[in-house]
């Protein structure tokens, strides 16, 4: 039986093969650097467990997530790879990090001390990556204050510093002045190690933009996020790696009608025609993560042709104007794919591809192909 037959007439198709292909292309592009696939936010809407399992089987050496809860889900699903949690660590969470064998970010001497004490209590070593803020102003010790943290990190016997990293704020821009300044700051911090005759831990700063535009930032490890799923991080970024989009969002026509002139469509009556038109209803809405901002702006593909969304997108449905084209109940409707990219949807909604992908609700079934 077709896997889409038993589910609602709306689903996301995820190509695990495309994700693996993108991973291989990234790995070839970055040379000797390791590749840490980032699977946070439900693998950018693609399904965190299925994507992580596929990448583990494909040979990925480690994974990155944003939250402790995401990492625990992966452990419970049998993912045994090293996992780095990028987000800030609350003191009460430290025992859970240690119990699940997770790597955590540390940005202060106090946090290192808390981690050291928690690890000592269970007679183990906790693995951390030191987080350096080189200009993002989010989490991390400022680059100009980092030396004390690095010095202190050498003294905790129950903490193993396995990495040191920072994060670009503007590596996907056309103007790379800011990103290059951040990289220079990070490299300055890293001088701490050779000055003391020490081998540095794994060094990493390159996200998708850095991978694509700043080969000098690849260092020991890179962290592809959105590009792993076949989407470029911005319209300005240089497309130096060929990518294959991994996600198609599909639905079906569930109702067909002829709408008469002057008859408003959907909430608020924001659209009407001055002539008879054929309008179909699609059972997807902002409750699924299909933005209300796409009202009277978005487009879909039906029978190989693009058609506009008319009226406001509802929580669970929206309407499409066929003019005098043909469609039948059950006909396929493509919201993303068939020439409609995540960037297209983002442009229509006034947002970015990251939000388009991560906004797809978990009530939309995923089908893996």
Residues whose CB falls within 8 Å of the CB of residue 188, separated by 6 or more in sequence, listed in order? 143
Beta strands (DSSP E) in the chain are 10-14, 34-35, 63-65, 83-85, 103-106, 126-133, 141-142, 159-165, 202-206, 221-222, 247-252, 255-259, 277-282, 299-302, 305-310, 318-323, 332-336, 366-368
Residue 357: phi, psi to the nearest 5? -70, -45
Distance CA 192, CA 103 (A): 22
Sign of CA dihedral 108, 114, 115, 117: positive
Please identify every residue annotated as catalytic.
Answer: 40, 267
User: DSSP class of residue 8?
Assistant: -
DSSP letters spanning 235-265: SSS---S-----EEEEEE--EEEEEPTT--B
How far apart (Å, rounded) are the C-alpha atoms in residues 89 and 107?
Answer: 9
The candidate with the shortest Cα–Cα distance to 9, out of 357, 266, 315, 249, is: 249
Is residue 187 classed as helix, strand or coil in its secondary structure? Answer: helix
C-alpha–C-alpha distance, residues 55 and 39, integer Å = 10
> What whole-number distance in Å separates Cα of residue 310 and Cα of residue 296?
5
What whole-number distance in Å separates Cα of residue 333 and Cα of residue 317?
13
Rounded to a whole number of angstroms, the distance between the first and last alpha carbons of the chain is 14
Contact indicator for 233, 342 with CB cutoff of 8 Å: no
């Amino acid at each position: 039986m077709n896997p889409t037959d038993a589910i609602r007439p709306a689903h996301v198709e995820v190509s695990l093969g495309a994700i693996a292909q993108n991973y291989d292309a990234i790995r070839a592009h970055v040379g000797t650097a390791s590749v840490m696939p980032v699977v946070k936010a439900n693998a950018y809407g693609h399904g965190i467990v299925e994507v992580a399992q596929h990448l583990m089987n494909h040979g990925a050496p480690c994974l990155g997530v944003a939250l402790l809860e995401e990492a625990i889900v992966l452990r419970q699903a049998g993912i045994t790879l090293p996992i780095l949690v990028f987000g800030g660590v609350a003191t009460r969470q430290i025992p859970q990090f240690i119990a699940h064998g997770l790597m955590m970010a540390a940005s202060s001497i106090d946090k290192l001390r808390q981690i050291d004490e928690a690890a000592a209590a269970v007679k183990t070593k906790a693995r951390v990556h030191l987080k350096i803020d080189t200009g993002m102003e989010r989490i991390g010790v400022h680059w100009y204050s980092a030396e004390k943290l690095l010095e202190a990190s050498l003294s905790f016997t129950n903490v193993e510093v396995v990495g040191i990293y920072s994060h670009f704020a503007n590596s996907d821009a056309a103007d790379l002045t800011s990103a290059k300044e951040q990289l220079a700051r990070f490299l300055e911090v890293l001088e701490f190690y050779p000055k003391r005759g020490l081998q540095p831990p794994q060094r990493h700063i390159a996200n998708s933009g850095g991978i694509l535009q700043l080969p000098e930032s690849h260092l020991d490890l890179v962290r592809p996020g959105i590009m792993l799923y076949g989407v470029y991080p911005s319209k300005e970024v240089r497309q130096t790696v060929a990518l294959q989009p991994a996600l198609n969002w599909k639905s079906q026509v569930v109702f067909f009608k002829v709408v008469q002139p002057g008859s408003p469509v959907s909430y608020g009556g924001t659209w009407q025609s001055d002539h008879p038109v054929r309008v179909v209803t699609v059972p997807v809405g902002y409750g699924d993560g299909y933005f209300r901002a796409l009202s009277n702006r978005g487009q879909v593909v039906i029978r190989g042709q693009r058609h506009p969304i008319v009226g406001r997108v509802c929580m669970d449905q929206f309407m499409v104007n066929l003019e005098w084209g043909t469609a039948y109940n059950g006909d396929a409707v493509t919201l993303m794919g068939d020439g409609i990219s995540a960037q297209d949807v983002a442009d229509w909604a006034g947002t970015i591809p990251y939000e388009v992908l991560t906004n797809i609700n978990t009530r939309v079934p995923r089908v893996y192909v």
